Amino acid sequence: MANIMIVDDSPIFRRSLREILESMGHRIVKEAEDGREAVRTYTDNIDLVTMDIQLPGIDGIEAVRHIRALNSEATIVMISSVEQRSRVYDAIKLGAKHYIIKPFTDEKVCEVVNAVLSNPRNGSSLPIASSQTPVQLAPAWKEEPLERFPKKKEPLRLEIPHMPNIPFELVRKDGRSVLTLQRHIVDSNVRLLCSCLQGLLYFRKMKYVIEVWEPIRHEEGQLLLIDFVSAVRQRNGTAAIVTSDIGYFAQLKAQLQNGIYRTYAEIEW
């Protein structure tokens, strides 16, 4: 079991990583929303840091530089979107050990984390993990950035979801993406909601409306909803929630202050 710090400005991505890592038996000892907080709270008892590249304030690259200055043996895995992939090389040169490309799967996170933690030298035997031979890493950033790692036996495939099991509907309306929660969120469908909201966060500067037909009483489901609205706003997007339930309206208003409406027609943007 390893002590792990997760650094990401998205609450949903932090939650997703935490669930995967905890399912592997690891302990999440700290979470940070930006690079400055990560550097300030980093301690030597942390065995692994997962570091998002794009962060407010000090970005992930600078955070790696500062943390490695504090501890030259610090083990850091970069989390990067496809468009930021070339920047991972800069982090590798500064001492990051590995990388994970968004959108990540449970299997990929497990593969990378196991690779860097299984080696007593923090994964330094991996071709991409060595900070001593940066020139040899250049070919990995061409057509096939993952070609140095074993390919999966089964190719990834997109599956059309079984619609009756989905408690929501996502449509485009009036230039907005409208997510309608049609049924109660419960243990059996909360992961579907999490997957949907996580996918929507890959878009920046979007306009989202969430129509809630029934108040969300499921604790994790409610946290996901609040986290999603906050994350969209952090990414320069707009998010609103519509509910006709008076009590739930007051609850959301107290938690989010603005962007809560009684009817869709009230939305002015």
- On the question of a cis peptide bond just before residue 103, with omega within 30 degrees of 0, the verdict is yes
CB-hemisphere CA count at 13 Å for 21? 25
pLDDT tens column, 116-165? 998 645 444 344 433 333 333 333 434 344 444 455 566 777 777 666 67
Global pTM value: 0.60
Average pLDDT over residues 71-92: 86
Compare 103 and 129 and report the one with higher pLDDT. Answer: 103
In the chain, what are the domains? 3-118 (3.40.50.2300), 168-263 (3.30.750.24)
Report the range out of 46-55, 124-133, 161-170, 227-236 with the highest average pLDDT.
46-55
Tell me the C-alpha distance between 194 and 106, whole Å.
Answer: 14
CA angle 9, 64, 43 (to 5 degrees): 85
Selected residue with higher pLDDT from 141 and 69: 69
Beta carbons of 24 and 67 less than 8 angstroms apart: no
From the list 217, 163, 211, 208, the residue with the least C-alpha distance to 185 is 217
Mean pLDDT throughout 204-233?
91
Which of 52-56, 73-77, 206-210 is predicted least confidently?
52-56
Rounded distance, CA 229 to CA 167, Å? 19
